Amino acid sequence: MKFVEIKNFTKDLISWQREQGRHHLPWQKNRTAYRVWLSEIMLQQTQVSTVIDRYQLFLKRFPNVRALAEVSVDDVLAEWSGMGYYTRARNLHKCAQVVVNEYDGNFPSDPELLERLPGIGKSTAAAIAVFSYGVRAAILDGNVKRVLARLWGVDADLSKSAAVKSLWAHAEQLLPSTPDDLVSYTQGLMDFGATHCTQYQPVCMSPDKGACLFRNRCQAKLNNQVELIPLKIKKINVQQVHMDWWIFIYKGKILLEKRPETGIWAGLWSFPEQNLSHKNNAEKLNVVKHVLTHRHLNIQPHKVLLSAQFKKINANQEWFNLRDALKLGLPKPVSSFLKSLDLIHGDV
């Protein structure tokens, strides 16, 4: 793949970041590897506005990597509740344990070593190395791929490894050489992708947002291809899934069940999916809809008020009062459902 020369790209992006980029995000202060790592993982599939609050709460609960390594994975999942993509939380916990056990609690500075840690990909490893240790390394997350692809008019399928390999090589060539510039440049790429050259309605396509500093050099803009790059790949098949929730309530307590370690919401607490009472006195509540990446869930809740507790429940089931239940690792629809206080207050 050939890349045309875009004059002063690196220099102009650095100046733009210093003048117009983001400087007050909580993870931009005191950039230790732990803080940068945590923010990078949280930001992978969650919006900045949500991460800002959750990041501070997470740090309050687990102020350093040792504090995170020594708790149970259930505690980490509980703190992660509602953020989705729970593999991230499980990997955070595993990674913290490796850093404590193998690196005496200090994240390595070498991107190749960072990349071997659980849940850390090549771009995240580079971000930690740049921001925490001033190591010269290139980032290439989804936003940066889009920015570089548009600027250099790359209309290849970016799900193919050959195209991504070329972009990595190009991203490395663009790096500035001094550590100070490196931090502004890397932050600049992130800021530019998040606020300027966004997936939908980038600045150059929305006149009210002002002008893009690269409008006269951007290949996608010059060739009228902004909406075509990056190339849209085939839509993923979305599966419709029906699920039942059995909401057993007895004297202010609700029966919850820990889900298996694989599959949807692995290791989190939810409602039993079978009618354990084997009676027909359940009340059908409104269907809950929830969208996951590959699945659309249609959940039918059945409410059952019990006059006596079950004699036997499974090892993965437990009775909780509402307050304790809300402290568990819960998928978002389950916590929202539990918080619908009418259900609980009206009935127990």
Should residue 41 be labelled a site residue for ligand SF4 when binding is judged by CB under 6 A?
no
Rounded to a whole number of angstroms, the minimum distance from the CB of residue 134 to ligand SF4 is 27
Should residue 16 be labelled a site residue for ligand SF4 when binding is judged by CB under 6 A?
no
Q: How would you classify residue 169: left for phi > 0, otherwise alpha for psi between -120 and 50, otherwise beta?
A: alpha
Parallel/antiparallel/unpaired status of strands 295-305 and 239-250 = parallel
Active-site annotation holder among 40, 102, 273, 283? 40
In three-state secondary structure terms, 318 is: strand
CA angle 155, 161, 163 (to 5 degrees): 25
**CA dist., res. 267 & res. 277, Å (int):** 24
Rounded to a whole number of angstroms, the minimum distance from the CB of residue 202 to ligand SF4 is 4
Using the contact rule CB under 6 A, the part of the chain among 93-101, 129-137, 219-227, 314-322 near ligand SF4 is 219-227
**CA dist., res. 177 & res. 156, Å (int):** 29
Should residue 218 be labelled a site residue for ligand SF4 when binding is judged by CB under 6 A?
yes
Any idea which residue has 């039942």 for tokens? 244
Should residue 214 be labelled a site residue for ligand SF4 when binding is judged by CB under 6 A?
yes
Should residue 197 be labelled a site residue for ligand SF4 when binding is judged by CB under 6 A?
yes
Should residue 150 be labelled a site residue for ligand SF4 when binding is judged by CB under 6 A?
yes
Should residue 221 be labelled a site residue for ligand SF4 when binding is judged by CB under 6 A?
yes
Element (H, E) at 254: strand 253-258
Q: What contacts 99, CB < 8 A, 6 or more positions away?
A: 65, 69, 105, 106, 107, 117
Using the contact rule CB under 6 A, the part of the chain among 155-163, 172-180, 201-209, 308-316 near ligand SF4 is 201-209
Should residue 88 be labelled a site residue for ligand SF4 when binding is judged by CB under 6 A?
no
Pick the closer one to ligand SF4 by CB: 55 or 214: 214
Q: Phi, psi (5° rounding) for residue 317?
A: -115, 150
Should residue 138 be labelled a site residue for ligand SF4 when binding is judged by CB under 6 A?
no
Interface with ligand SF4 in residues 224-283 (CB under 6 A): 226
Q: Which residues bind ligand SF4 (CB under 6 A)?
A: 150-151, 196-197, 202-204, 212, 214-215, 218, 220-221, 226
Residues designated as active site: 40
